Amino acid sequence: MLETAAFCCYSRLQMKGIVLSGIKYTDNRDIVYLYTDTKGRATCIFDRRKKSRLFPLSIIEFETSGRKNAEMQYLKEFVFSPPLPEISANVRKSAVAMFIGEFLYRILKEEESSTALFGFISRSICMLDLIEDSVSNFYLHFMVQLSKYMGFSIPANRNGYDYFDIKYSKFVFTRPLHPQFFDESNTGILSCLLEMPADRLNELKITGEQRMNFANHMINFYSFRFDHTLIIKSLNVLHEIFN
């Protein structure tokens, strides 16, 4: 959990952002990484001595101060918009939020700004806070649906093919000759998650090992699309919780 200050505010602050992750900067200050609605990635410094929790996937309206062109601005004030009581208090949801925050931190670039993408992430966060029975499959569904907003949407498996070819981002009838593909089991899970709404994810009956395996396949899919290996350390935490 990150520690920072919350301020009471009744009018919209300058910018809206989603907390991705944070690190210690000095004894009294931390750095927080945000994805914002208008400027893409943002990096802010705040005073840790102020007491109120700011956790991964917090949605905030905020103002900053500092030199206009500085690489990092100071987080002057913020307000939760909306509050997310379940994500902050529920261990399972907090772990999912940490994973999604780390995953987004690895793939969202500094120059990117997309109203549609910001809206999708915000809606997904609110859904995570609300759902009760399908938390264990939520992060898998998120990674699949996110592709629609990243410029490489995965088409539905209308023909019921047995393999998904990562290289060409399509379902195929025969096993690809190259190693970049989903096997029959993971292709079946992918096909379901492409069509299944988030509020019915409890209908997807898979084991902890299957979740871990599918998550790694999705990480490989994004690694191939971005042409660099993504290492998501918090995936192991999810495996321990949902195994």
- Which of 111, 130, 149 is the C-terminal boundary of a domain? 130
Residues 211 and 123 in one domain: no
How far from 226 is each of 2, 34, 115, 221, CA to CA, in Å?
A: 29, 20, 21, 9
pTM given for the model = 0.90
Q: What is the pLDDT of residue 13?
A: 64
For the chain, give the number of residues: 243
For residue range 100-141, list pLDDT tens digits in order.
999 999 999 876 789 999 999 999 999 999 998 889 999 999
Domain boundary among 130, 149, 166: 130
Mean pLDDT of the chain: 89
For residue 30, pLDDT beyond 90: no
The total number of structural domains that make up the chain = 2
Is 217 found in the same domain as 99?
Answer: no
Give the residue carrying structure tokens 């690489």: 71
Share of residues in the chain with pLDDT > 90 (%): 69
> How far is Cα 13 from Cα 9, in angstroms, rounded to an integer?
8
**Is there a single domain that holds both residue 221 and residue 155?**
yes
The confidence score (pLDDT) of residue 70 equals: 65
If one compares 179 and 8, the residue with the highest pLDDT of the two is 179
Domain boundary among 103, 130, 157: 130
Q: What is the pLDDT of residue 110?
A: 73
Does the pLDDT at position 3 exceed 60? Answer: no
Q: What does the pLDDT average to over 164-174?
A: 97
* pLDDT tens digits, 171-224: 999 999 999 999 999 999 999 999 999 989 999 999 999 999 999 999 999 999
38 and 138: one domain? Answer: no
CATH at 40: 2.40.50.140
- pLDDT for position 11: 45
93 and 39, same domain (yes or no): yes
Choice between 64 and 122, residue whose per-residue pLDDT is larger: 122
Rounded (to 5) percent helix, strand, coil in the chain: 40, 20, 40
- State the average pLDDT over residues 220-229: 96
pLDDT of residue 37: 92
Verify that 185 and 213 share a domain, yes or no.
Answer: yes
> Which of 37-46, 52-61, 69-78, 120-129 shows the highest mean pLDDT?
120-129
Same domain, 144 and 88: no
CB-based burial of residue 26 (10 Å sphere; 0-12 exposed, 13-18 middle, 19+ buried)?
A: exposed
Q: Are residues 28 and 50 in the same domain?
A: yes
* Whether 225 and 109 share a structural domain: no
In the predicted structure, residue 52 carries a pLDDT above the cut 70: no
Residues 103 and 139 in one domain: no
More confident residue, 227 or 65: 227
Smallest Cα–Cα separation from 57: which of 87, 15, 12? 87
Query: In terms of domains, do 237 and 143 share one?
Result: yes
Residues 117 and 157 in one domain: no
What domain range includes position 169? Answer: 132-242
